[in-house]
């Protein structure tokens, strides 16, 4: 039963991953990615890694993918323009994808390959054991992944903050340094006699 469920979830996961990169509508691509995350969580449950499964659903599906969905719907990106250079870079992407697939097959079929977390599956995974593995055995890969996420965040901020010619920007430092004498000027002007009301008119008419 477990083996049958594994193949079913694996087939759904592969199909959802293909639909993520082949869907023309970006909103549909995000929804297919959510299905892929749910299916991955089911695979985690099959190997008794419930904490990782719940974390995947809560963090990625509940927060990250909802954010992706809102961003895609609000930006109104013209994806037709982005797809124009797809076939131009397809040969390079195909070579890289083939190399990655061959590497994964060699790793999975190797007898000396050690699957991360195999020790935890035998004894039953807990949060304490997972944290001990992350910060002892896999400390360097964990820190490298954190650096990659930091670089990606800085790159995203750099792409969104760009100066445009038709946009006005404020300089808070210059605004704070401004003094009242630089912006306000008091003018003394003599009264014009032609603007004064005649003295023989009633007070109500003078006020009007």
For residues 117 and 52, what is the distance between their CA atoms, to the nearest angstrom?
11
Pull the structure tokens for residue 125: 């995974």
Q: Mind listing the pLDDT tens digit for each residue in 176-205? A: 888 877 777 777 877 766 655 555 555 555
3-class SS shares of the chain: helix, strand, coil, % to 5: 75, 0, 25
Angle of helix 26-46 relative to helix 2-22, nearest 10 degrees, comes to 160
Q: Has domain 1-77 been given CATH number 1.20.120.1200?
A: yes
pLDDT at 87 over 70: yes
Q: Mind listing the pLDDT tens digit for each residue in 2-30? A: 888 889 999 999 999 998 888 877 778 88
Environment class of residue 134 by beta-carbon count within 10 Å: exposed (0-12), middle (13-18) or buried (19+)? middle
Domain boundaries, the chain: 1-77, 121-157
For residues 96-107, give the mean pLDDT: 86
Lowest mean pLDDT among 33-37, 49-53, 70-74: 70-74
For residues 67 and 137, what is the distance between their CA atoms, to the nearest angstrom?
33
**Spatial CA neighbour of 11 closest among 53, 57, 56, 42:** 42
């Amino acid at each position: 039963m477990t083996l049958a469920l594994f193949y079913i979830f694996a087939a759904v996961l592969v199909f959802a991953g293909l639909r993520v990169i082949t869907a023309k509508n970006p909103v549909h691509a995000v929804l297919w990615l959510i299905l892929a995350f749910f299916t991955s969580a089911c695979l985690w449950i099959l190997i008794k890694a419930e904490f990782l499964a719940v974390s995947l659903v809560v963090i990625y599906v509940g927060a990250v993918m909802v954010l992706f969905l809102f961003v895609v719907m609000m930006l109104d990106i013209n994806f037709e323009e982005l797809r124009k250079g797809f076939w131009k870079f397809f040969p390079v992407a195909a070579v890289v994808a083939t190399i990655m697939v061959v590497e994964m097959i060699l790793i999975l079929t190797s007898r000396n390959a050690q699957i991360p977390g195999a020790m935890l599956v035998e004894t039953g995974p807990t949060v304490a054991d997972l944290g001990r593995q992350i910060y002892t055995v896999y400390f360097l890969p964990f820190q490298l992944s954190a650096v990659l996420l930091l670089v990606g965040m800085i790159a995203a901020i750099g792409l969104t903050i760009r100066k445009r010619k038709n946009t006005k920007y404020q300089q808070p430092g210059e605004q704070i340094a401004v003094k009242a004498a630089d912006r306000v000027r008091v003018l003394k002007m003599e009264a014009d006699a032609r603007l004064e009301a005649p003295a023989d008119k009633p007070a109500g008419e003078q006020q009007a």
